[in-house]
Amino acid sequence: MSDIRVTGLGKAYKIYPSQWARLAEWILPFAGKRHETHWVLQDIDFELKPGEAVGIVGSNGAGKSTLLKMMAGTVRPSRGDIQIGGRVAALLELGMGFHPEFTGRQNVIMNGQLQGLSLEEIDDLMPQIEAFAEIGEYIDLPVRTYSSGMQMRLAFSVATAQRPDVLIVDEALSVGDSYFQHKSFERIRSFRKAGTTLLIVSHDRYAIQTVCDRAILLDKGRIRMQGEPVDVLDYYNALMAEREFETVKQATLADGRISTISGTGEVSIIDAQLLGEDGKPADSVQVGEHLRLVVKVRATSEVPRLVLGFMIKDRLGHCMYGINSHRLEAPLMDVKAGEGATYTFHFDAGLGKGSYAISLSLSREDSHIDKNYEWRDNALLFHVFNHGKENFVGCNWLDARLEVVRDERESCRA
């Protein structure tokens, strides 16, 4: 168990205009620099308490992998300091540095020895590693014959054969099939319970939300935001859609959730209300109640096409339902500057007990990735209570009916 403390961490790569320039710099050390420094990570500061799980998100090239490599110790920081104690196990990309000509078993032994295990200890762990990887007879074939999924299965099994104090996982899990992903997340969760500190890079929103206590968003080599996974992921989502003129704003809502607003602002949401059956704004809703979502929008500049969408998310950020006017075949074409529109969605609250948030989006096409006028995460909040309906569990109200037929002859025979 250990604290991890990262202070002022930065990584720069040297870029030489040509190999000759590098040679000149090497043999003429006093003639000055001939390279440009390209910073891929700068001013990274964060702390992890023992047993904490942190997810790192960010677009490609944001510096996530470089950060993890430095944490794992393979890449040397250009600046700053990393304090990390205990046994660190790292799964960096695919294959874990397996030697393609050696068999799986030999690679396991080699890896174990690199983790500082003795041959006897590796022998003891081997059956368990084999069983977890489930690659069968392939264990005695050279690794070059493995599929990428098999390599990853073996790599994960070796790296996690013993519970490490710190586990670093870079994207690796996305290679496996869903069965193995599930299995490896189970193992990660059990490590977490036992006190392992976890640092994970993933593009899988679900993975980060369910496993991590905290998320760090990296953007262009710097920490853009850290906090609750749901909030960070919403912000990241908004950032993904960011274009030249877009702005991103965040505000903290009454219940602590963060509302993120981003977009070009060519069209914006003026008012959004969730109305209950009584026609009044509703923040407490009965299971199955008929609801209306009324959204007023106005265009500040001319846009060729306009689509409004909404999405209901639960407390953990999982999407319950989402739809937009494109999919409902009602996009507005050629919207003039200054023109407004009012949308009313009708739906029934077929949801389980709990608190939910509605996110709204104004975009040109089906997806906000293409052109995002405005994206408003957690625009409205509401709670669902269950008074009138049967006492069910889960997040969907499926209105189950029951028929029971008793067969008394069967019981007589018994």
| Footprint of other proteins (CB under 8 A) | 13-14, 19, 22-23, 26, 69, 72-76, 88, 90, 92-93, 95-97, 99, 101-102, 106, 109-111, 113-114, 116, 118-119, 142
What does each C-alpha distance from 374 to 86, 181, 226, 297 come to in angstroms? 46, 34, 23, 10
Distance in Å, CB of 132 to other proteins, minimum: 20
- Which CB, 72 or 215, lies closer to other proteins? 72
- Which CB, 122 or 225, lies closer to other proteins? 122
Distance in Å, CB of 171 to other proteins, minimum: 12
Residue at 114: amino acid letter? L
Report whether 383 contacts 276 (CB < 8 A).
no
- Which CB, 157 or 209, lies closer to other proteins? 157
- Which CB, 77 or 276, lies closer to other proteins? 77
Comparing CA positions, the residue from 117, 1, 123 lying closest to residue 50 is 1
Exposed e or buried b per residue across 98-134, where buried means at least 16 C-beta atoms within 10 angstroms of its C-beta? beeeebbbbbbbbbbeebebeeeebeebbeebbebbe
Distance in Å, CB of 8 to other proteins, minimum: 17
Distance in Å, CB of 109 to other proteins, minimum: 6
Distance in Å, CB of 93 to other proteins, minimum: 7
Burial tier of 319 (Cβ tally within 10 Å: 0-12, 13-18, 19+):
exposed
Distance in Å, CB of 117 to other proteins, minimum: 8
- Which CB, 98 or 235, lies closer to other proteins? 98
CA 41/CA 60 separation, integer angstroms: 13
Q: Which two tokens stand for residue 350?
A: 């077929």
Distance in Å, CB of 115 to other proteins, minimum: 9
Residue at 369: amino acid letter? I
- Which CB, 44 or 92, lies closer to other proteins? 92
Distance in Å, CB of 114 to other proteins, minimum: 5
Strand segments, DSSP code E, in 156-196 are 166-170
DSSP per-residue codes, 343-387? EEEEEE--B-SEEEEEEEEEESSSSTTT-EEEEEEEEEEEEEE-S
| Stated length of the chain | 414
- Which CB, 27 or 31, lies closer to other proteins? 27
Q: Which two tokens stand for residue 332?
A: 């507005």
CA 52/CA 164 separation, integer angstroms: 13
- Which CB, 95 or 317, lies closer to other proteins? 95
